[in-house]
Amino acid sequence: MKSDLLRFDDWTSPVPPVSREVLTALPATDEGLPPVLFVPGLGHGAWAFAEHWLAHTASRGFPAHAMSLRDKGDLRSYAHDVVQVAASLPRQVVLVGHGAGALVVARALGRYPARAAVLVAPVLDGWTSLGAALRTNPFGTLPALFGGRLRLSRRQLFSADLPAAEAREYLLRLGQAGARAHVELVRHAPPPRPVGSPPTLVVGSPDDRVVPRSSLDRTARRYGAAPLLFPGMGHDLMLDAKWVEPIDAIMDWLSKEITA
């Protein structure tokens, strides 16, 4: 097994720096609560959280930040970027990762003792998610297996409750991750054990067409709890019509954990 102490990759070929996009919403008054850092999945960016969740988190008293992943990165550089942004914030950070961003957060948790962690619709079982994607959206998924584009469909990301015009606008804003990241999403080492044992919450929807229910349960079990479920929502819980319910539940959980 690779040692966590001997980090030859970082010592001999450090991840090159990039400029990182970070969007911020601060609460009206600083109540000393830990900052929350949102990490998007593949194709998404900081904008996906800036739509609703960022301001809502700030309104609950938590300094809220959302970052974008670097272009043409791999899992290692994504996790590096998350730890870099986390360490740049003034207090110990709560990491919230969505989709593949939850996998990135899971990797970052092995490198940075977060105050707490939330994995939203986490794509931690690559093969299961690949199967689900091939069933729901075979023609958008297949090219990505061979180094081509990944085209996510409305059915995968949103529920029918989200107005078609909004859904279309979001789909247009989706970007492309590199081929390397697509491969690593499916084939990667199991996530490391989080350092500093942060309390961890798994959130998802049983109607998510990217992360099946069985996968949510497995991920939640790995982090020692049952998943918090929001039926009727699509994969993009932060953009879907009922976006307020999961973020309120996350904030309730967080407030309880912080005061505990």
Partner 1 sequence: MAAFLPGPSVCKDRRVHDTPDIADRHDAVCVIGAGASGLAAIKNLREHSFAVDCYERETSVGGAWNWRHDRSPMYAGTHLISSRPLTEFPDFPMPDTWPDYPHHSQLLSYLERYAAHFGLGEHIWFGTEVVAVTPVGDGRWDVTTRSTGGGASRVQRYAAVVVANGHNWSPKTPPYDGLVTFRGQMIHASAYKDPAQLRGRKVLVIGGGNTGCDIAVEAAQQATTVWHSTRRGYWYAPKYVFGRPVDQVNDLMLKWRLPLRLRQWLVQKTVRLTVGDVTRYGLPVPDHRPFESHPVVNSQLVYYLGHGRITPVPDIARFDGASVELADGRVIEPDLVISATGYLPRFEFLAPELLDTDDNGRPDLHLHAFARRHPTLAVIGLLQGDAGLFPLAHWQSVAVARWLRLRLTDPIKAAAVQQRESSRPLRSWSRRQMVPSTRHWFEVSHTSYLRVLDDLLKHLEPA
Residues that bind partner 1 (CB under 8 A): 3-8, 10-17, 80, 83-84, 87-92, 111-113, 195-197
**Residue 16 Cβ vs partner 1, minimum distance, rounded to whole Å:** 8
121 backbone φψ class: left, alpha, beta (φ>0; ψ -120 to 50): left
**Residue 36 Cβ vs partner 1, minimum distance, rounded to whole Å:** 15
Strands 94-98 and 64-67: unpaired
**Residue 58 Cβ vs partner 1, minimum distance, rounded to whole Å:** 20
Nearer to partner 1, 179 or 195 (CB): 195
Listed residue (147, 92, 93, 157) closest to 123, CA to CA:
157
Tokens, residue 36: 């929350």
Beta bridge partners of 23: 66
Nearer to partner 1, 89 or 145 (CB): 89
DSSP H stretches of helix in 111-212: 126-136, 138-145, 154-157, 164-173, 179-186
Sole residue written with tokens 């092995």: 110
Nearer to partner 1, 109 or 130 (CB): 109
**Residue 189 Cβ vs partner 1, minimum distance, rounded to whole Å:** 18
**Residue 198 Cβ vs partner 1, minimum distance, rounded to whole Å:** 10
Kindly write down the DSSP assignment for every residue of 54-77, as one continuous string: HHHHHHTT--EEEE-PPTT--HHH
Nearer to partner 1, 113 or 224 (CB): 113
Nearer to partner 1, 87 or 226 (CB): 87
| CA-only gyration radius of the chain, Å | 17
Sole residue written with tokens 């309104």: 59
**Residue 208 Cβ vs partner 1, minimum distance, rounded to whole Å:** 32
Nearer to partner 1, 7 or 221 (CB): 7
Distance separating alpha carbons of residues 189 and 70, to the nearest angstrom: 21
Distance separating alpha carbons of residues 241 and 167, to the nearest angstrom: 10
Distance separating alpha carbons of residues 220 and 180, to the nearest angstrom: 27
